[in-house]
Amino acid sequence: MITREDVLHIAKLARLQLSEEQIALFQEQLGKILGYFQELEKLDTSSVPPMTHVLDLSNVLRPDEPRPSLSVEEALRNAPRSREGYFEVPRIVEKT
């Protein structure tokens, strides 16, 4: 099913160096994986509706509703440095 050259091509794409033993092992394992896919292709899925998830889930997030948040003073209370209502951080980009 999968050739030695296929394994070497995949290894090259993944930038892997494989020993001869690993090439033989991966050739066998990848062949089995492809065989499982062939078995799955035999199943009749025409009556199965397309789905994005195996469970029937809806949006599990809370509603996005406005609510009170921290005041500027509370947000800056633990800041090491602040100036004029903003966090003050060290410059990391030099001006040219």
Would you list the domain boundaries of the chain?
4-41
Position with higher pLDDT, 34 vs 52: 34
What is the rounded CA–CA span in Å between residue 35 and residue 65? Answer: 50
What is the rounded CA–CA span in Å between residue 86 and residue 32? Answer: 59
Concatenating the DSSP letter of every residue in 27-91 gives HHHHHHHHHHHHHHHTS--TTSPP-SSSS-----SPP--------HHHHHTT-S-EETTEE----
Average pLDDT for 37-47: 93
Spell out the CATH class of 4-41: mainly alpha
pLDDT (tens digit per residue) in 68-96: 999 999 999 999 999 999 999 988 887 77
At residue 29, the pLDDT reads 97
Percentage of residues in the chain having pLDDT higher than 90: 72
